[in-house]
Amino acid sequence: MPQSPLTDRSTTVSPAWAIHPASTPIAAPTGEAGPVVSAPAGTLRGVWRQVALPPGATAVYDRSAAFYNIPYAQPPVGPRRFMAPVRAERWQGVREAALPGPTPQRRPFGVTTAIPEPSVSGEEVLNVFTPDPSSEARLPVLVWIYGGGFFAGSHNSPYYDGAAFNRDAVVTVSLSYRLGMDGFGWVPDSDAPVNRGILDQVMALEWVRENIAAFGGAPGRVTIAGQSAGGASVLALLTAPCARGLFSAAICQSGGTTAATLADARAVATREAELAGVPATLAGWRSLTEEEVLDVAATLGTEFPLFDIDLGPEGLAPFLRLPRTMSRTFMPVVDGEVLPQATFEAVRAGAGHQVPLLIGGVTHEMTLIGHALAEPLARLCGSAEQVSVDRLLAEAGLEPVEVKAFHAAYPELTGRPDADLVGAGQVISDYLFRLPALEVVRLRAADRETAGRTWLYDFAWGSTLPGPGAGLAGHCQEVPFVFDCLAHPHADGVQGPQRPQALATVAHADWMGFLRHGDPGWQPWARSCTGRTYGGPKAPEGASDGEVFSWDFHLLQRG
């Protein structure tokens, strides 16, 4: 049953919050006996946490029960390695679930990541956070799918803790899925040659459907959500026949399109097998240790980089069109079975139209990529030092009025000493993230009823850290805002100081509205390009309805 609403707690709990793995800046274990849940999968004992609130705030619940390390599939090792997932068997006795468990990520994305992502060896599991672990609660459910380019990411990130959503009466599930070669590499003689990571996600959603009621969730009120590769996974699940009926709403944050073919996957895996010195077969891959597969994948990334950014003779022209796929190394594949069609084709055919969709991203996802491309950009401009984004856009076929419209859309980039580099980077960033989101919205708008179930947003608040990223809303920037966990110290090194809690309160409340009602509480997308802008010049600490992505829509309409 609900606990008494909180009205006078500080934003953070005791400074000792980080001592226990189940602690966050707003939730700390109470020390009392953990809650016990008897679900169809088996009986578990979790841990109770007290949830703190900002001064003057109220909530439905002041406690959160965390259940970690719950298996939804049998370990993908031995004869199950590189195979389709197999449902976990019901365990006997009480399974202790008070501590985080394994992660499919074995090595982090890099030394420093925008999101804290622990790595622990082991099988695929999920975490459940609930304010009311009783079958009578019937609360809406958020199922979170982490990002990481399909080769990294961790469901155990403290950013994905469900305490803030629990506080507001939403059960939260953070699932894991196989990554890299194990999850997405082409293995021709497997019973699942590709898309094993997507099949893991589907099996986790089946687990949620069958078990979440015991944790206080409503199986018929499940929203899937994810960011980056997690957002691309959401779009894949939205169009996958095997996922139909497993969720009732979807949130795509900075996701991308899926159009990779079996030939694409075969080329990557064949080359990886050559580098490893093994045949590109099930037996060949199983002859390698996990560490050996990771080592060769790291080498492979130099030949098949995550993003397909080739600044050839056409310059920026290819980046003014829709991308074919989000990544080049490991990715969901159109295999004719799990994913019968590419994202845009499936949405055009009506896939997922019955599902309310909240979609968008951050304004400057990969804008700083312009710095990494300074040398080839300069060569395109015929200079060893000087880059001119205006020249590059003109050579790509844009008229002067269109170049002017580009600058008008991104006034925050004008006047910077690196304006031309970040301008070129913005074009490439839009190509990777914003154009795909807008195409999905535009395709759904072909049906007036579906357009009324589609909401578009742009997160524009920029980092307060010094350096090239100052003032820019880079990839992952919105995650601690929508999870309302800005107090986590990791945000110091990404979002920077003076993080606006008021903006987190607004963004989190909008996500809550969508989870509860399938509607964030603002105008659905329309042909007039209406949407929601978070932060930025128009709304520095709040949010505003208005025109978003208008420049990018112009590119799509231009063709």
Amino acid identity of 434? Answer: R
216 — alpha (psi -120 to 50), left (phi > 0) or beta? left
CA 350 from centre of chain: 23
Q: Map tokens 């105008």 to a residue.
A: 523
The C-alpha angle 45, 46, 52, rounded to 5 degrees, equals: 155
Joined together, the tokens standing for residue 282 give 């099930």
Catalytic hit among 365, 412, 439, 478: 365
| Residue 134 designated active-site | no
Residue 349 DSSP class:
T
| Residue 490 designated active-site | no
Contacts 24+ apart (CB under 8 A), 409-418: 409/550, 409/551, 410/363, 410/551, 411/537, 412/462, 412/471, 412/472, 412/536, 412/537, 413/367, 418/370, 418/371, 418/468
Q: Going by DSSP bridges, is the β-strand pair 94-96/63-71 parallel, antiparallel, or unpaired?
A: unpaired
Q: Are residues 124 and 178 in contact, defined by beta-carbon separation less than 8 angstroms?
A: yes
| Residue 508 designated active-site | no
Among 475, 504, 474, smallest CA distance to 487 is for 504
Burial class (CB in 10 A: 0-12, 13-18, 19+), 492: exposed
Determine the straight-line distance between the first and last CA of the chain, rounded to whole angstroms. Answer: 55
DSSP secondary structure string for all residues of 208-247? HHHHGGGGTEEEEEEEEEEETHHHHHHHHHHH-GGGTTS-
Catalytic hit among 353, 475, 490, 508: 475
Catalytic hit among 228, 248, 327, 463: 228
| 3-state SS class at 532 | strand
Q: Map tokens 């939205």 to a residue.
A: 238
Within 10 A of 132 (CB to CB), how many other CB atoms are there?
Answer: 24
Report CA Rg, the chain. Answer: 23
Among 558, 553, 529, 550, smallest CA distance to 398 is for 558
Residues taking part in catalysis: 228, 365, 475
